[in-house]
Amino acid sequence: MHGNSESDLLNDCYSDRPEGDAVFIRQKQWQLTSQSVSGEVTPVTHVPFTIGRESDNSLSIRHSTVSGHHAVLLVEGQHLVLRDLNSTNGTLLNGCPLKNGSTLREGDILHFGSVMYTIGQQSGCDQEPTTPSDILAEAVAHGQFDRLLNSSALRPYFQPVVRLEDGRCVGYEVLSRSTLCGLETPDKMFRVAAQHTSEAALSRVCRLEGLKAATGLSSSFTIFLNTHPAELPSPCTTLAWNELTESLGDLRQRFPEIPLVLEVHESATSSLAFLTMLRDVLRDLNIQLAYDDFGAGQARLAELVEVSPDILKFDIAIIQGLAESQQRRNMVDGLVKVARDLGAVCLAEGVETVNDTEACMELGFMLAQGYLFGRAEPVTRWKSLEDPLP
């Protein structure tokens, strides 16, 4: 790929093309469909069919990650093939680096830089420099995203939640990982999911796979499940509400014996009416409600008072270093007292030192999680231990 210049590769493509190639193209009626919002369809009417940023291409894509002459479609025998023209950011076929001369099939996903197209068959430039980009992992992630939604590549991890008075594990928070390139962590997964408008769907799959794995643990452990803000719109739409409540009902039916807590970011919705409805549904399903990352921004005291949760998880940012800051201790002390008066159990997130642990106990926290007690690990790690604490 790198041995020839772009012009040499183009010259090779245009030399001595047989008439049979044109006949093949007319018969097959191939077309490229953009996966952008516009969904533009471009028929492949001839070969060589060049693709790139400059205006003299058969398909001109005005995007900074696309090279001037990026790739070309050719006919070899009875196959449509794709070749890269030494582009800066490369060409991907179904999320994998292109092997020049790769045969294309109906429905294949093509990435030219970061721009995505599909190849199918019809039914009945400017001179600015190409922007270098770490586009390979991005394109691979998009190409493999469907494997997350069918759960085949998700790997639930479990982080212990401990009772501070005796340091024993009482539950686990489910944190998802994957084996796919570019989709290894929740941040990466949900960033790509957002571009596919699939954050809510991915969140539902993460909860289901987490509970499937949790059946390997003792049924006495409480399992903490996360939500995504896309599932908690404000104002709540009927579709989003139905999808969330139906998924929770399905989980409770599948796993009737597992104690469950559903975590909701306390700033994810500003609708007290929605939170009230959610709390009522959870109570009917025997699922506890937790507000996550409390205090990360402005503490939402209205929600805390009007729709009090079963568990209040204090954000890592106000827990770490708590032992060294009297001013912060005074603030947290007041919030813990309010929460306890409302019947909520306070949980400290991100505890990593003995000093912060002692400070949390003095302030009235009953539960904690953090690296001091254990990192997120596969279920097999915890299942192998009689007492999950290291």
User: What are 317-331's pLDDT values in tens digits?
Assistant: 899 999 998 998 999
| pLDDT for the residue numbered 4 | 58
Is pLDDT of 2 > 80? no
User: What are 205-252's pLDDT values in tens digits?
Assistant: 999 999 999 999 998 999 999 999 888 866 556 788 889 999 999 999
Strand ranges in 8-145 using DSSP code E only, listed in sequence order: 30-34, 41-43, 49-52, 59-60, 71-76, 79-84, 91-93, 96-97, 102-103, 109-112, 115-121
Structure tokens at 177: 């990982």
Is pLDDT of 296 > 60? yes
Task: Average the pLDDT over 92-96 and give the result.
Answer: 74
Query: Which residue has 């947290």 as its token pair?
Result: 332
Structure tokens at 146: 């469907």
Structure tokens at 45: 């009417």
Task: Average the pLDDT over 358-370 and give the result.
Answer: 96
User: What are 144-158's pLDDT values in tens digits?
Assistant: 788 888 877 899 999
Task: Average the pLDDT over 370-375 and give the result.
Answer: 94
> 48 preceded by cis ω (within 30°)?
yes
| pLDDT for the residue numbered 122 | 76
One-letter amino acid identity for 95?
Answer: G
CB 22 within 8 Å of CB 46: yes
Strands 49-52 and 71-76: antiparallel
Which among 250, 176, 249 is positioned nearest to 214, based on CA atoms?
176
As a whole-number percent, the residues of the chain with pLDDT over 70 amount to 82
Angstrom distance (rounded) from CA 35 to CA 33: 6
Name the strand (E) or helix (H) holding 163.
Answer: strand 154-163
One-letter amino acid identity for 179?
Answer: T
Chain-wide mean pLDDT for the chain?
A: 84
Is pLDDT of 130 > 80? no
What's this model's pTM, rounded to 2 decimal places?
A: 0.67
Listed range (75-79, 191-195, 209-213, 286-290) with the worst mean pLDDT: 191-195
